[in-house]
Structure 1
């Protein structure tokens, strides 16, 4: 699910994000991310008064969400795009989804390793590793995407 944080009625941005988008105002972002547990959060940097505060609210309440900021590139987001045209926004959200998929595959691999009985081979671990490797190979090859993929909860 994708959450759109915006303080005005930007129907064009909502339409670009497709059917699974849930719009929310910045004053309700903390509650919305805690309730909805979104995979991707898009922050409309042109419509919110303090985009960095919105990023901080998302990080505090949904640390696993991948954050896209539209309209500015100087924030602590995972993916940014300076323009809000349809092509740029769709590309940014697609990059964010790939980051989310990679993070989830690494988390699944970690869980499988943690739950494995010591000294016993495990086909599930091998499969999870292959999946994580495949998802890593699908990441766009740029610094911003790799930094987002490797981000931890503490920054």
Structure 2
């Protein structure tokens, strides 16, 4: 069953709907948390940042790497999906953006069975397209293939104002 992506204007940290909801966003692979959408998450809940920083600190003994996924319950029935889909935090010498589409694809691939198991919908800003420098034309097909194509409902939030 293929779902359509629902686009709304609003705050992805206040996802619409009832039942289990996962707020998905892209993190970098350098342990940095301090700009962009993560600030909105941290204003609402301390757990996603705390979990991400511990995950990074202990990376020698866990799966922290590009393409990895970390799910954190912030309140019933909300979870946050920290997805490692950005290499570093700045553009490279030739202007290459930090976004890594293959890593976002892998993280979404890991997210789908978790969302299905929980009966959850997935809510997100335009992941990988802010500070990571990605193109929505590249990211949207990954969401369609990995999530909506498997029957996971997805809502994308565009900031109001």
TM range (shorter): under 0.3
| Structure in which a larger fraction of residues adopt strand | 2
| Structure in which a larger fraction of residues adopt helix | 1
Structure of larger gyration radius? 1
Provide the TM-score with structure 2 as the length reference. Answer: 0.26
Provide the TM-score with structure 1 as the length reference. Answer: 0.27
